[in-house]
Amino acid sequence: MSFISNLINGLSLGSMYALIALGYTMVYGIAKMLNFAHGDVIMVGAFTMFTAAATLKFSPAISIIAGIIVCTLLGVIIEKIAYKPLRKASPLTVLITAIGVSYFLQSLALLIFGSNQKSFPMLFNFEPIRVNEDLILKSDSLMTMGVTILIMVALTLFINKTKTGRAMLAVSEDKGAAELMGVNVNKTISITFAIGSSLAAVAGLFFGLTYGFIGPYTGAMPGIKAFVAAVLGGIGNIPGAMLGGILLGVIENLSKAYISTELSDAIVFAVLIIVLLVKPTGLMGKKINEKV
Amino acid sequence: MALLEIKNLGISFGGLHAVDNFNASVEKGCLYGLIGPNGAGKTTVFNMVTGVYKPTCGTIHLDGKNLTGKNSIQINKQGIARTFQNIRLFSNMSVLDNVKLGLQNQIKYSVAQGIFHSRSYKRKEKEMDEKAISILKVFGLENEYNYLASNLPYGKQRKLEIARALATTPKLLLLDEPAAGMNPNETGELMDTIRFVRDEFDMTILLIEHDMKLVAGICERISVLNFGTELASGKTEQVLNDPRVITAYLGE
Amino acid sequence: MKKNNLNIHNLITYGIVVAAFLFVSILVWTGNASRHLQAMLVPIGLNIILAVSLNLIVGFLGELTLGHAGFMSVGAYAGCLFAIKYAEILPTAVRFPLAMIIGGLVACVFGIIIGVPVLRLKGDYLAIVTLAFGEIIRSIIINLEFTGGASGLKGTPQNSNFYIVFVVIMITLVVITNLVNSRAGRAICSIRDNRIAAESLGINITYYKLLAFVIAAFFAGVAGVIYGHNLSILQASVFDYNRSIEILVIVVLGGMGSIRGSVIAAVIITALPEMLRSLADYRMLIYAVVLIAMMLLNGSQKFDKYKGRMNIGGLFTLLKNKKSAKEAG
């Protein structure tokens, strides 16, 4: 495969990571917590679409919308039940709770769908685009990238131009002050989880289309990678998550193509470590000085 | 030569001159006050002297040794100890352990001796306990030695912080608003304690304080900071009667 | 006075472990221990060692790491490779302890290599970087020839048993407890409580962070060697971040900074999935629900009244406070 097609596949994978990383980073920015269960929301999204399309024979559009709705609701419900009571608890308690939620979603999926991988229905059937002999563009890669760019533009506009978006920025800056200024903190956090989880559902769709198979533990590794991407870009920083996700996808795909398939994960993690050692708060993270 | 010699000290954060051209020389055994309105840069001076911030210009000498640009750990080892404006105790540890941490570099034994609870561990621990209790006694905290630091009332927490700083056997003690949040009775008691520490330990003390009664009562010399620059310095009485100082505090 | 209380507290912890050991030994000798129970003893013991050592970093130093399984794997491979090489040459009584020491020391070396650059990161950043290191170690082991690669390392003599694990547990407990109650341990705890104040007292933060990290890595390495000697095949895939998380869950559930809590939580968390075996497919689900419920009860404001009761270390503090209140009143 040519360098260009490897690069494009990397960009497509990176777009998927970026979508997941956005959820991580938005939740981190606002609730100051690592939502370890975020990766499993991807899996829930993918399984919902699978059930709607393959089992219930709904049309692709309806299946996708169902997946997004289920994930959005799931994100809000998880926040209400598991994280909201712990707003003032130690970060470690919240982290373990998130891990508990992650186990819960995985074992629930295991119970319902079994441990065998399910083949994800081909919701779209576009022909690959042949540019020339060496360069064949997979249409789902192009779609992943296109949709991700659209979502990122929309999200940036939403956050900077709408009242709700600015409320999100205010809450992530200073929860107490935002509350005093009349921002409904609970609502804002719910909306953040809703947006993050719906993005995860979209990522779940792309995961299914790209790999063709889904299982109960499908979300775990992309979740961790997206978490790495969010930290790489500077956790809590939205453009950082986009940049981190795309970089990660490209690095992963190029190392798979040119260095070693087995070591590609190790290379991705090594890049994270090197970046953090040079810039301890990530590529676009702000330096925080502790006041003495 | 003075014990602490600060020359032309300055720092800026992103273009803002927080402290500019600050000079002070604190003689051995002196009780020196640093006063000024909120945001004048007093704590910033402390943070530079103790190595929390690196000054952008100027020098700091203690006992003739250049301390400029050294980190907090090195500066403490050179003989400067401090307390903090917002109390920084080891809150999940006992009062005794807080003071013993101040003794960390005075009474030593190796990690292995600690793990195997060797004889030298037992001897040195006992020595630390005794030393710590004797310091706690100065502040009337010896009966609370087994309390968690966070369970002490506010005034006692401030005292414990001074006790802990003293345990590092400094040449110079920096107190950042030691009377903040204390009632007049406690403040009076604290003034006696500070004087006692100076006399008993032959200590040089530099303190930041807003309570003018305390400053006028115990400080021999003071410097006044305003907007990061030095407004006046000298004998306490003279400075406090300086019209410029009165204007800075009360406005035009 | 205070010292005595402390000693009694530690002796009770040791006593609990010894009593549990004797009880189980009697069950085994009299033939009353089921195969399931016997098979669980070494894993339980390993989790005790891992949790108590991780508690040094998470509970006492106050830093979050997700790479404990990485140290475990490095130790396991180093110790087992040694044991395989000298299986015919050295008698078990010499080889196995030596393998444990080698595994521990190699883990220490990795602790230093990883700790020196990484320990200036804080909080979540440290967590993700240690997780990353754990995953890198795993990937590399899988891709090496001499470690047996993805198919695993075979041929380690199966020398692990419940008695050896017990001895190692006791050593771990005594070393960590004594360390925590010494000059170095105080310095480690002071970094957790207030780093800036610790620096102002001239305490060498970097050194003590690294010390805690390296000592914890040592015991993780030793646990790895025991693990390797317990199975006929050693596979790198078991040392993934989920294994690190499992140990972290034990530490948090047992109460951070409570050694006794870690011990008890290790027993419960390791045995729970086994005890739920009859529920078959539902056991992981129940485990997850129990975990979430415990955390909610532990950290939620609504349940403040019961606070501390849902983690094991807190339970002891609560009982102790009641007792001392009784004595005072």
Structural domains for chain B: 1-79+170-252 (3.40.50.300), 87-169 (3.40.50.300)
Predicted confidence at residue C301, as pLDDT, reads: 59
pTM of the model: 0.91
Which chain B residues have a beta carbon less than 8 Å from that of C203? 73, 101, 104-105
Pairwise CA distance, residues C125 & C131, whole Å: 10
Between A288 and B201, the higher pLDDT residue: B201
Predicted confidence at residue C204, as pLDDT, reads: 96
Predicted confidence at residue A288, as pLDDT, reads: 64
DSSP string, chain A: --HHHHHHHHHHHHHHHHHHHHHHHHHHHHH----TTHHHHHHHHHHHHHIIIIIS---HHHHHHHHHHHHHHHHHHHIIIIIGGGTTS-HHHHHHHHHHHHHHHHHHHHHHH-SSPEEPP----PPPEESSSS-EE-HHHHHHHHHHHHHHHHHHHHHHHSHHHHHHHHHHH-HHHHHHTT--HHHHHHHHHHHHHHHHHHHHHHHHHHHSEE-TTTTHHHHHHHHHHHHHH-TT-HHHHHHHHHHHHHHHHHHHHHT-STTHHHHHHHHHHHHHHHSTT-SSPPP-PPP-
Residues of chain A whose C-beta is under 8 A from some C-beta in C? 28, 34, 82, 85-86, 88-97, 99-101, 103-104, 106-108, 110-111, 224, 227-228, 231, 235, 260, 262-263, 265-266, 269-270, 272-273, 276-277, 280-281, 290, 292
Hey, is B152 helix, strand or coil? coil
| Domain range annotation of chain C | 2-237
Which H or E run contains B60?
Answer: strand B57-62
- Chain B, 55-84: which have a CB under 8 Å from a chain A CB? 84
Predicted confidence at residue C321, as pLDDT, reads: 55
C136–A269: do the CB atoms touch at under 8 Å? Answer: yes
Contact between A4 and A135 under an 8 Å Cβ cutoff? The reply is yes
Predicted confidence at residue C150, as pLDDT, reads: 86
Q: Provide the pLDDT confidence category of residue B244 given band limits of 50, 70 and 90.
A: confident
pLDDT tens digits, one per residue of A156-213: 999 999 999 999 999 988 888 999 999 999 999 999 999 999 999 999 999 999 889 9
pLDDT over threshold 80, residue B182 = yes
Provide mean pLDDT across the span A61-78. Answer: 96
Domain covering A3-278, topology: ABC transporter involved in vitamin B12 uptake, BtuC (1.10.3470)
Per run of 10 residues, the mean pLDDT along chain C (length 329 residues) is 69 92 91 84 96 96 94 97 93 94 98 92 88 94 90 91 95 96 96 95 96 98 97 92 93 91 93 78 84 83 50 59 51
Q: Six-digit token pair at C253?
A: 């559930």
Which chain B residues have a beta carbon less than 8 Å from that of A292? 43, 47, 52, 84
Residue of C nearest to B91 (CA): C193
Predicted confidence at residue C306, as pLDDT, reads: 47
Predicted confidence at residue C324, as pLDDT, reads: 52
pLDDT tens digits, one per residue of A117-167: 999 988 777 777 777 776 777 788 888 899 999 999 999 999 999 999 999
| Alpha carbon B125 to chain centroid, angstroms | 26
Predicted confidence at residue B245, as pLDDT, reads: 85
Neighbour subunits, C (≥3 Cβ pairs < 8 A): A, B
pLDDT > 70 fraction of chain B, expressed in percent and rounded: 99
Predicted confidence at residue B161, as pLDDT, reads: 96
pLDDT tens digits, one per residue of B9-36: 999 987 788 999 999 999 999 999 999 8
Q: Six-digit token pair at B176?
A: 């950042």
Provide mean pLDDT across the span B147-154. Answer: 93
Neighbour subunits, A (≥3 Cβ pairs < 8 A): B, C
A292 touches chain B (CB under 8 A): yes
